């Protein structure tokens, strides 16, 4: 059961949040000030923090900074009556997971809380979302950025990663679409299975179909033996189709049917094969 720490100087606010969380089967701890909350975090294991901004003594923003110094990966959701845009931007810039303004609805709170808990479960995965330190060399395995737009991308990755949904990643060339695809994979339930990539723009229509679905001996000139395609090879895992927009319309139609029906045929074959593959695609 996830444990959530509520830091708010108003007892009534803590009571409302506690009831919201308990109704969803979540355990909660309470603290009536920033310092008290930091003390709780020193002695208790906590999965998520709900933090009020306007508190006497140490402010919510200063509490957030100290929490992030102690536990950089612990998600913090700010809950406040302060609806200033600059305050929200500052909060996200300080690594707050999200920023909710009062009055908070039960549905809204639980949606964001569950999203935060889901997104943080795979934080030890190989794709690193942390910003580069000045002393570090750039790494091709690292997604860099702490802007609100990047935080929205991280949250989207967290929301879809542990589902089995087919995902389309869009963006201009060089913006890191494959990094996003790999991050989804590394945070998914299939992370211990195979991850295969195919560049759809690099192959002719015939060769691409053969690479995707496989072919039987004699299916076309040069097919001297049977060959399994990527859908067979990736069974149980994830298949990343890069630049899917460069596929011919007919091949895209076959891919659509394959994704919908979870079946395919090798080129030149009559036997229908089934598969269990999560598809992630990208296009510029």
pLDDT tens digits for range 25-60: 899 999 999 999 999 999 999 999 999 988 888 989
Structure tokens at 235: 């069974």
Q: Classify residue 113 by burial, with Cβ atoms within 10 Å: 0-12, 13-18, 19+.
A: buried
Task: Tell me which CATH homologous superfamily contains domain 162-283.
Answer: P-loop containing nucleotide triphosphate hydrolases (3.40.50.300)
89 vs 4: CA distance, rounded Å: 23
Specify whether the CB–CB gap between 203 and 164 falls below 8 A. Answer: no
For CATH 3.40.50.300, the residue range(s) in the chain are 162-283
Q: Where are the alpha helices (DSSP H) in the chain?
A: 11-23, 34-43, 60-70, 85-93, 106-120, 148-161, 177-186, 205-213, 230-233, 249-261
- Each residue's pLDDT tens digit, 122-151: 443 445 555 434 434 444 556 777 777 887
For CATH 3.40.50.2300, the residue range(s) in the chain are 3-120
DSSP SS3 for 209: helix
CATH code of the domain occupying 3-120: 3.40.50.2300
Does the model's pTM come out above 0.85?
Answer: no
Least confident of 127-141, 185-199, 219-233: 127-141
Predicted confidence at residue 158, as pLDDT, reads 79
- Each residue's pLDDT tens digit, 244-270: 999 999 889 988 989 898 888 887 777
């Amino acid at each position: 059961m996830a444990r959530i720490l509520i830091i708010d100087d108003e007892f009534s606010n803590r009571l409302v949040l506690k009831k919201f969380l308990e109704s969803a089967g979540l355990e909660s701890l309470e603290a009536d000030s920033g310092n008290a909350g930091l003390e709780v975090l020193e002695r208790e294991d906590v999965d998520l923090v709900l933090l009020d901004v306007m508190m006497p003594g140490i402010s919510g923003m200063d509490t957030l900074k100290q929490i992030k110094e102690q536990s950089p990966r612990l998600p913090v959701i700010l809950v406040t009556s302060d609806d200033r845009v600059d305050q929200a931007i500052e909060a996200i810039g300080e690594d707050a997971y999200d920023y909710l303004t009062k009055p908070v609805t039960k549905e809204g709170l639980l949606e964001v809380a569950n999203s935060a808990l889901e997104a943080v479960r795979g934080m030890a995965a190989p794709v690193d979302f942390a910003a580069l330190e000045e002393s570090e060399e750039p790494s091709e395995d690292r997604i860099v950025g702490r802007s609100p737009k990047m935080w929205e991308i991280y949250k989207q990755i967290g929301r879809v990663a542990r589902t089995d949904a087919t995902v389309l990643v869009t963006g201009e060339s060089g913006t890191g679409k494959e990094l996003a695809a790999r991050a989804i994979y590394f945070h998914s339930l299939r992370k211990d299975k195979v991850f295969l990539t195919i560049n759809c723009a690099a192959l002719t229509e015939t060769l691409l179909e053969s690479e995707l679905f496989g072919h039987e001996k004699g299916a076309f000139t040069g097919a001297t033996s049977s060959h399994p395609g990527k859908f067979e090879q990736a069974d149980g895992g994830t298949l990343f189709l890069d630049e899917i927009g460069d596929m011919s319309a007919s091949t895209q139609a076959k891919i659509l049917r394959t994704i919908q029906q979870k079946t395919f045929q090798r080129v030149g074959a009559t036997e229908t094969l089934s598969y269990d593959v999560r598809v992630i695609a990208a296009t510029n």
